[in-house]
Amino acid sequence: MTDDSALTEAAREYAAAYAAHYSERDLAMALQLYKKIIASQASAREAGYSRTQVQNIVNAVVPEQELLDAQMELALVRLEHQIPPGAGSIPVAPLESELAG
């Protein structure tokens, strides 16, 4: 059984994220809104749509080689620390830009 109010909220949030993404072309805002949906409405179908939209934005703004390098680094860290597939996320060091500001 699904909670209709949660689906309605998820749909409303997704519509706002989609508008930021495609109408306003504010990719940073769209990413934040999609991220919120994924975190707060994880079981709603809009969370799945949001994951796809995040991938669309990532693929549009991050060069392919940079994505591959990041994926390889993540895989190596997990292998080095013997973190099994499906285990929770690992702590990531903050970016230099985050440390400065």
Task: Quick: pLDDT tens for 11-66.
Answer: 999 999 999 999 999 999 999 999 999 999 999 999 999 999 999 999 999 999 99
pLDDT tens string 69-101: 999 999 999 999 988 888 877 666 655 555 565
Burial-class residue 7 by CB neighbours within 10 Å (0-12, 13-18, 19+). middle
Whether 38 and 50 have beta carbons less than 8 Å apart is answered as yes
Q: Tokens 């059984």 sit at which residue?
A: 1
Q: Rounded CA gap, 65 and 62, in Å?
A: 8
Q: Domain boundaries in the chain?
A: 4-84
Q: pTM for this structure?
A: 0.76
